[in-house]
Amino acid sequence: MPNQDPKQGSNQNSNEENGKQQSRQQFSSAGAHGQGRETTHFGFEQVPVDQKEKRVAGVFSSVASKYDIMNDVMSMGSHRLFKRFTVELSGVRKGHRVLDLAGGTGDLTKLFSKIVADTGTVFLTDINDAMLRVGRDRLIDEGIVGNVEYIQANGEQLPFPDNFFNCITIGYGIRNFTNKDKALVELYRVLKPGGRLLILEFSTAQNPILKKAYDIYSSFWPKIGDALVGDSDSYQYLVESIRVHPDQDTLKDMMTQAGFDKVEYHNLLSGISAIHRGIKF
Ligand SMILES: C[S@@+](CC[C@H](N)C(=O)[O-])C[C@H]1O[C@@H](n2cnc3c(N)ncnc32)[C@H](O)[C@@H]1O
């Protein structure tokens, strides 16, 4: 059972995008074999599957203390609106048990904690202790206490029982996972029947002009990262990880394949981000 002590869960030996050969979008990075070892993408780079988690950890440990300010700068504040919309689509009510997976500094947790109130609980869960620590300090400073639990865990191997949560959200997290299919199956397991999974993530802009403009804008992020926080590499990874992330229909197929029903998505700003929602029946 979950508790306040951070737990480590970090086995990642499977193929990225396993079984997705029929998906609408093909990924050269998906479980490729490089010199006899299984590889996956880390941005545009191919890395051995067992090294991706460490590389991703390096990025988020590096950005943790400046994550919130950079998020506001680069998204021009739009992530806040998208997170509010995600909460609106969640159907979460007073007394519910919510998992904010890859919750980082806790934006979604903060919104949910007000809704579930004193009879519910939000589990702010992240693989990275630095992000979790920044999130915990921030929420406590803002007086959000009593109904939030902090768990350090890998989304691909969760320390929760079956049928445990009324709702699960992942905000801008899943594209960093090594094995997304494995995580989706795990999320299905811990969700209660009737519960909803919502995935807010960067996606593929549908309007070609907007897509071009966004590609140009985001290509400046490493420079902005360098200028504001002296870290261009992490923001280079951010740009690349967005570009290799599955498009809307591919992620929808992946959720369906993991067992979710009624999977649908809402494009935000023409698909620069999207919210996918699926139900466990
Ligand atoms: C871009 S941040 C998003 C934080 C927050 N949800 C938000 O929307 O602001 C991505 C988060 O995913 C976490 N993460 C990456 N891989 C993970 C995994 N396998 N399991 C759990 N969390 C993971 C990172 O540590 C990081 O905190």
Note the pTM of the prediction, 2 decimals: 0.89
* Distance from residue 212's CA to the centre of ligand 1 (Å): 26
Euclidean distance between CA atoms 271 and 269, whole angstroms? 5
Atom nearest to 68 CA in ligand 1:
9
| DSSP H or E segment with residue 116 | helix 107-116
* Atom number of ligand 1 nearest to Cα 183: 19
Mean pLDDT of the chain: 89
pLDDT average, residue stretch 6-12:
33
CB atoms within 10 A of CB 222: 19
CA 60 to ligand 1 center in whole angstroms:
8
Q: 131-185: per-residue pLDDT in tens?
A: 999 999 999 999 999 999 999 999 999 999 999 999 999 999 999 999 999 999 9
Least confident of 9-23, 67-81, 110-124, 247-261: 9-23
Q: Strand pairing of 191-202 and 273-279?
A: antiparallel
pLDDT digits (tens, 9 = 90+) for 87-134: 999 999 999 999 999 999 999 999 999 999 999 999 999 999 999 999
Single out the residue of 73, 72, 103, 77 nearest to residue 198, CA to CA.
Answer: 103
- What CA–CA distance (Å, rounded) separates 157 from 146? 26
Domain ranges of the chain: 53-279
Closest CA to 154 of 279, 6, 3: 6
Nearest CA to ligand 1 atom 27: 104
Q: Which CATH class is domain 53-279?
A: alpha beta
Q: Which atom of ligand 1 is nearest to the CA of 170?
A: 6
| β-bridge mates for residue 167, sequence order | 98, 196
Nearest Cα to Cα of residue 108 among 83, 88, 133: 83
- From ligand 1's centre to the CA of 126, what distance in Å? 6
- Name the residue of 78, 107, 172 whose CB sits within 8 Å of the most ligand 1 atoms, as the mutation to test its pocket: 172
| Between residues 221 and 17, the one the model is more confident about | 221
Report CA(104)–ligand 1 centroid distance (Å): 5
- Ligand 1 — pocket residues by CB below 6 A? 56, 60, 71, 102-105, 107, 126-128, 131, 154-156, 171-173, 176-177
> In what helix (H) or strand (E) does residue 266 lie, and over which residues does it extend?
strand 261-268
Instruction: List the residue whose alpha carbon is closest to atom 15 of ligand 1.
Output: 176
3-state secondary structure of 143: coil
Greatest CA separation for the chain: 54
Whether 36 shows a pLDDT value over 90: the answer reads no
